[in-house]
Structure 1
Amino acid sequence: MRPHTSFFNTADLDAFDARTAALEDPRPHPTEPQLVQLGRALMTEVLDVVLGGGLEDHVAVICETLIGGLHAGVQRLERDADREREALARLLHDFDGSEVADVDLQEVKARADALDVAMCAIEHVRDAAAEIYAQATGEVWSPWRGVVRASVQSAAQVDAQAALRAVEQRRRSAADPGEHVVAFRASPRSDAPEDARRIFDALNWARAEWPDMSLALTDAKGGERLAKRWAQQKGVRVVLAKPDFARFGRAAPFRANDQMLALSPVCVLVLPESLGRAAEAGAPPFGPAMNLADEARRRGMRCVRITART
């Protein structure tokens, strides 16, 4: 059990431990390394059971359901914390200096702080589980809708619709992609080693040009998954414009392009074909990537086509 805050120097603690100590709760809290280990152990156990057996074909659904459930818990705690903060704002507005009002104020603040700590704890577990999932399968988990805040282990991710609303409102919030958005589209076949090297070269160049960049993509397989993995490792915010096939059918990939272009990207990067698959030399370029490039040039936006080393 941790000592009471009054006798404890939080300067020697990491950020999470300092927050839990500040709650002055006599009950012990897990440490950040313990939470990270929990997330890794949970996902490792799931993968050990699923991989190599009859359920292997469904590993993505099984693992992403587990991670998504943890993310849903984060969202629920966040909503509860927001309600407590709204109550705190009302109490501050009506504060009359009485002892009763002061006690009410402290209790509401304590509940809000405790909810924030619980939310942060689940985020550590979620991000650690997602990291093991990515290492084992090469897939990068992301929620279908909503926001994932940045952490030590993963990039922030926002839904493209939420990002567009934030741009329109010009409000700095978790969903605001910032002023420097780099849009990227690639062929689903561009997953060869040479593709990865050139994609990373292009993204590293873009980050050097715009250090606070956000990366907009559709989360398609192949090159875009490689780019998403790069963003996770570099801590670059990702704006997901996922095609809505249920609503738009075959036009969905092109509607996703429109969403990315509506973010007014400072640069558009495209890789319409694999650079490392000689057998596919005669394959046509990926249509949605070519469409994004054409639309970007038509609108006067900077567009760079990723090519092989010369």
Structure 2
Amino acid sequence: MQKFNNFADLANARMELADTRSDVTTAYDGAFLEQSDMAKLSVVEEPMAAEMPDPDMARAAVELAIGTVFDVLKDTRMEEFAQQLAWGMVNSFHMTARLVEGREDDAAKKLGEMARHFDPSEIYAVELEETQMLVQTLQGCREALEAMRDHASDLYRVETGRPFTATRGSQVSKNGVTASQIQARDFLAARAKDRRAQFQPEGPLVVVSGGMKEWHDYEMIWDILDDIKSRVPNMVLGTTGMRKGVDAMANAWAQKNGVQTILFMPDRRHGNRAPFLRNENMVKLSPVEAVVGEGSGIQSNLAQRLRQAGVPVHVRRIADQRPQTQRVGASTFG
């Protein structure tokens, strides 16, 4: 759990989250919309009249679940386990959403195949409509789970000072086509557009990479990112995916400031070359600015490539950090 010099620091962090309550409520309201009067959750089950959960109750349940873990274990011999328990709760939302996404994608693939092969029979029309209902229902459930996961992730960040990072972790026509088939094609097109927007965020890319050990001065990294965002307000953050050190500090800053993040993980199929190929691919995306913290030869290679590409690079060394005793709060990013 993140350590604070006094309760005021934790209170300020919780107040910061409370200030975003209207945004959280809006996110829940949007994610828990009723797409249809009927729902369908599997191919074999009949459509059913089942409502989505109440968004306010869902939001309150997430806050109660995460908050209670920290409140009950605080100042006890089990306090150190609160972070792991809360991480597991956030990760359960994430993994469940991914499982639902897999079912949604399978149903969408079937819907696409049906939409491409016209059959004038009534059986085909019914199956097409029910498959579309299945995709819509699963999409709605996924979006609701993702809203709960994002909310739980924010609560986790406020309580621990760390960002949550998942383990693995978007009419009859002249041609005689039925109305259902036209609707299916339109729905697939809209769904594809939505997924592209989710998984391919648009905006100038700012790259951050650094070592995992001996880094504690997150305020130094945050100050640089604050300055960049003031000049590039629509920036997208790209990190090398480390769960500690500079990358974790940058991810925490991104969550705090609502900046979309892309984790560039090395492809282990390439063996020892993987991190360097990852660096090369990041530079090919033409980042507008970069922050590189002292680490290993991987960071040195990235800084060199960025400079060769003419990208402004902010290099910070471990020795540039202020001693922990001179800072308001301690960090758990190391």
Fold similarity call, TM over 0.5: yes
Q: What is the DSSP-based 3-state SS (H/G/I as helix, E as strand, rest coil) of the residue aligned with 1:239?
A: strand
Q: Which residue of 2 aligns with 1:265?
A: 287
CA gap 1:77/1:100 in 2 versus in 1, 3 angstroms: same
Change in CA separation of 1:64 and 1:243 when aligned onto 2, cut-off 3 Å: farther
Structure 2 CA distance for partners of 1:196 and 1:180, relative to 1, 3 Å = closer
Query: Mapping of 1:135-284 within 5 angstroms?
Result: 135-146=158-169, 149=170, 174-176=198-200, 178=202, 180-186=204-210, 189=214, 191-192=216-217, 194-195=219-220, 198-205=223-230, 207-208=232-233, 211-241=234-264, 257=279, 260-261=282-283, 263-272=285-294
Q: 1:68 maps to which residue?
A: 91
CA drift at 1:202 = 3.0
Q: Does the C-alpha gap of structure 1 residues 85 and 256 become closer, same or farther in structure 2, counting only changes over 3 Å?
A: closer
Q: Whose relative contact order is higher, 1 or 2, with alpha carbons under 8 Å and at least 6 apart? A: 2
Q: Quick one: structure 1 residues 61 and 203, their matched pair in 2 at CA, closer, same or farther if it must change by over 3 Å?
A: farther
Number of aligned pairs?
A: 258
Is the alpha carbon distance of 1:201 and 1:258 closer, same or farther for their aligned partners in structure 2, counting shifts above 3 Å? Answer: same
Task: Name the counterpart of 1:295.
Answer: 305
CA distance in 1, matches of 2:89, 2:127: 37
Task: Report the CA distance between 1:133 and its aligned residue.
Answer: 0.9
User: Does structure 2 conserve the Cα–Cα contact (< 8 Å) formed by 1:43 and 1:132?
Assistant: yes
TM-score, normalising length from structure 1?
Answer: 0.67
Give the Cα separation in 2 of the matches to 1:70 and 1:30: 15
User: After superposition, what is the alpha-carbon deviation per residue over 1:106-127, rounded to whole angstroms, capped at 9, x for unaligned?
Assistant: 1111111111121122212222
| Aligned counterpart in structure 1 of residue 67 of structure 2, from 44, 47, 55 | 44
Cα distance, 1:67 vs structure 2: 1.6
TM normalised by structure 2 equals: 0.63
Map 1:74-85 onto structure 2 (within 5 A).
74-85=97-108
Task: Tell me the secondary structure at the aligned position of residue 18 of structure 1.
Answer: coil
Match of 1:18 in 2: 33
- Return the letter of the residue paired with 1:225: A
Q: For the Cα contact (< 8 Å) 2:63–2:152, is it kept in 1?
A: yes
Identity of aligned residues (%): 24
Task: Determine the C-alpha separation between the residues in 2 that align with 1:183 and 1:104.
Answer: 47
Residue 208 of structure 2 aligns to which amino acid in structure 1?
F
**Structure 1: tracts of 5 or more residues without a match:** 1-12, 150-170, 273-284
What letter corresponds to residue 314 of structure 2 in structure 1?
V
> Counterpart of 2:148 in structure 1: which amino acid?
V
Alignment correspondent of 1:279:
none
CA contact (8 A) 1:178 1:214 kept: no
Distance 2:60 2:271 in 1: 42
Cα distance change, pair 94–187 in 1 and its aligned pair in 2 (3 A): closer
In 2, the alpha carbon distance for the partners of 1:233 and 1:194 equals 13
Aligned-partner Cα distance in 2 for 1:100–1:243: 48
CA change 1:58–1:20 in 2 (3 A) is same
Structure 1 match to 2:122:
99
Deviations 1:121-179 (A, max 9, x none): 22122222211111111011122334xx5xxxxxxxxxxxxxxxxxxxxx957544657
Q: Distance in 2 between matches of 1:97 and 1:252?
A: 52
SS in 1 for 2:232: helix
Q: Distance in 2 between matches of 1:243 and 1:82?
A: 25
51, 55, 70: which is aligned to 1:32? 55
Residue by residue over 1:239-280, the C-alpha shift from the partner in whole angstroms, topping out at 9 and shown as x without a partner, is 2245799x979x9977765564454423222354xxxxxxxx
CA 1:66–1:18: 2 relative to 1, 3 Å: closer
Q: What is the alpha-carbon distance in structure 1 between the residues aligned to residue 203 and residue 218 of structure 2?
A: 32
Is 1:132–2:176 an aligned residue pair? Answer: no
Matches of 2:161 and 2:71, distance apart in 1 = 16
Q: CA deviation at 1:295?
A: 3.4
* 1-structure distance, mates of 2:105, 2:274: 34
From the superposition, tell whether residues 26 and 78 of structure 1 become closer, same or farther in structure 2 (CA, over 3 Å).
same
How far apart are 1:88 and its partner, in Å?
1.5
Three-state SS of the structure 1 residue aligned to 2:92 is: helix
CA gap 1:21/1:108 in 2 versus in 1, 3 angstroms: closer
Q: Deviations over 1:13-32 (max 9, x none)?
A: 94334334554753332132
* AA in 1 matched with 2:220: D
